[in-house]
Amino acid sequence: MTELIPKPRSVVAGSGEVRLTAHSQIYAGTAAEGVGHWLCAVLRQATGLPLREGRELDDTGGDGIGLQIDSELAPEEYRLVSDSTGVLIEGGSAAGVFWGAQALRQLLGPDAYRRAPLGRDRAWAVPYVTIEDSPRFRWRGLMLDVARHFMPKDGVLRYLDLMAAHKLNVFHFHLTDDQGWRLEIERYPKLTEIGSWRARTKFGHRASPLWEEKPHGGYYTRDDIREIVAYAAERHISVVPEIDIPGHSQAAIAAYPELGNTDVIDTTSLTVWDTWGISKNVLAPTDNTLRFYEGVLEEVLDLFPADAGEFSSFVHIGGDECLKDQWRRSPTAQQRIEALGLGDEDELQSWFIRHFDNWLTARGRRLIGWDEILQGGLAPGAAVSSWRGYDGGITAARTGHDVVMCPEQQVYLDHRQHDGADEPVPIGYVRTLEDVYRFEPVPPELTPEEARHVLGAQVNVWTEVMEDPARVDYQTFPRLAAFAEVAWSSLPAPAERDFADFEHRMTAHYGRLDALGVAYRPPAGPRPWQRRPGVLGRPIDGPPPIV
């Protein structure tokens, strides 16, 4: 079975197979031991085979698996050879070996993804094959919004496993927003005591008349975060936390009213927001606010260490959709603009972002934010998540800033997958599996030198209308598989991509998703229980703008 996703660079099939037996061993060489422990664990639980750990590569004896580092390969590159001597996976680093182990798991068939053997006799075989592979992009990400609808820790760990199975390596963790604060901060306990829950929740788009009249909330303790980061690191995934400022901050202001613009509104009356959209309640540009968020970020840096993955030095500070009406009316904000010699409120936001760029840089970290941080001048050293189309990413790359491409028009997975009436809570533009497969992260307008600033791409999973993990699965899959191939494989231009071949390989991949318990959208459309009749969405007519 070689219907692999993402598609490898080179696959040469042989004649024969390696059969795993009760005598098979797994040998992991120096620096590959962690991958060996992981592979032993997942294959033992799926196959029921003992799969002992060998002491020497020769111990694999024709029916075993060897894992080792080959320094001549690029860090994430791997080579998998299955022949009469057994299976050998070599990688340029432990990450490369791990991605090769993911390919091996696919070769074993869908049942290799189960958590216990099915209790029937079957052969576990790896076909003779040579696979050589490496990723196109270094940053292959998924952004998960746990602020709008909280996902308990076990669900987050499950998504890290699903990311690893698709060779994705950056988990963008959207932890704070108007509708909830999800991270325990010791020095500011009200952020979770007050800010982590809301009294009720809008059901559907904000135009919907429906409400879920029960409290919703939850947060991750400090130890939960340490566990999530360690679990991700074992799977060679970097966790990039997002603390959204200065907009999308109503939950924080509800917990600590002094953070808001107290000279123009009564912030003591604010609660955690229970509907969707863009809140006008934003942080006040005061020294008190700066000190408060420095305190928050000090704990964030402790919980998300810089050495936990290739991109673990990044901290995302949002910077998007900051409505400035309150700043325009606030004497305090206007005095700050005058004192700093700024031109307008956009430059005031730029000053706010630059402050934290300097603060993070001084601590050996890198700031990344949504493309609104370009307004009023881009902070030196900052990277950009280009979400409003390509323009922000193009501008950033041309001025020497690194970019992650995640345009709403292509890879926002909260957007509907079909224009049919049965599609649950239809949001935004139709983005089919094929549409995502034809996404191209590098704009053709960039020169080769500018294009080097495109670190990669990510999908964004915003959860306003995703009330439970099954809805998250439905919106995310199978489109995440298409994105994974775009981010990993060296594909031709979008119009030239062989979607029919991808669909063929997906027939095998649906079996893997079934074994993993993923509630994906079937190719024929939603199952009856996946529909949400009568719940209003936000349909947009006409072709999407590409900006």
Q: Is the pLDDT of residue 312 over 80?
A: yes
Q: What is the mean pLDDT of the chain?
A: 96
In a domain, 5, yes or no: no
Structure-block tokens of residue 137: 């992009």
Q: Is the pLDDT of residue 159 over 60?
A: yes
In a domain, 1, yes or no: no
Are residues 145 and 177 in contact, defined by beta-carbon separation less than 8 angstroms? yes
Q: How many CB atoms lie within 10 A of CB 335?
A: 11
Domain CATH for 85: 3.30.379.10
Same domain for 221 and 337, yes or no, is yes
Same domain for 404 and 444, yes or no, is yes
Instruction: Show which of 76, 103, 133 is a domain's final residue.
Output: 133
* pLDDT at residue 62, as a whole number: 86
pLDDT, tens digit (0-9, with 9 covering 90-100), for 438-482: 999 999 999 999 999 999 999 999 999 999 999 999 999 999 999
Q: How many domains does the chain have?
A: 2
Q: Tell me which residue range forms the domain holding 159.
A: 139-539
Q: Is the pLDDT of residue 511 over 70?
A: yes
Same domain for 294 and 363, yes or no, is yes
Catalytic residue among 321, 434, 440, 503: 321
Instruction: Show which of 111, 133, 155 is a domain's final residue.
Output: 133
User: Distance (Å, rounded) from C-alpha 381 to C-alpha 139?
Assistant: 17
Domain CATH for 257: 3.20.20.80
Q: Is the pLDDT of residue 58 over 90?
A: no
User: Distance (Å, rounded) from C-alpha 172 to C-alpha 239?
Assistant: 6
Same domain for 319 and 450, yes or no, is yes
pLDDT, tens digit (0-9, with 9 covering 90-100), for 233-287: 999 999 999 999 999 999 999 999 999 999 999 999 999 999 999 999 999 999 9
Instruction: Show which of 78, 102, 133 is a domain's final residue.
Output: 133
The set of long-range contacts for 83-89, using a CB threshold of 8 Å and a minimum separation of 24, is 83/14, 83/16, 83/18, 83/128, 84/16, 84/128, 85/60, 86/18, 86/60, 86/61, 86/62, 87/18, 87/60, 87/126, 88/57, 88/60, 89/65
Same domain for 466 and 374, yes or no, is yes
In a domain, 314, yes or no: yes
**pLDDT band at 541; cut points 50, 70, 90:** low
* pLDDT at residue 381, as a whole number: 80
Same domain for 123 and 146, yes or no, is no
In a domain, 70, yes or no: yes
Q: Mean pLDDT, to the nearest integer, of 358-375?
A: 94
Same domain for 268 and 411, yes or no, is yes
**pLDDT band at 46; cut points 50, 70, 90:** very high
Same domain for 206 and 126, yes or no, is no
In a domain, 25, yes or no: yes
In a domain, 29, yes or no: yes
In a domain, 545, yes or no: no
Active site residue 90: no
Same domain for 340 and 361, yes or no, is yes
Same domain for 187 and 209, yes or no, is yes
Same domain for 116 and 80, yes or no, is yes
User: Distance (Å, rounded) from C-alpha 153 to C-alpha 26?
Assistant: 31
Q: Is the pLDDT of residue 217 over 60?
A: yes
* pLDDT at residue 393, as a whole number: 97
Same domain for 309 and 184, yes or no, is yes
In a domain, 230, yes or no: yes
Q: Of 80, 30, 28, 72, which is closest to residue 54 (Cα–Cα)? A: 28
pLDDT, tens digit (0-9, with 9 covering 90-100), for 73-127: 999 999 999 999 999 999 999 999 999 999 999 999 999 999 999 987 789 999 9
* pLDDT at residue 121, as a whole number: 79
* pLDDT at residue 539, as a whole number: 85
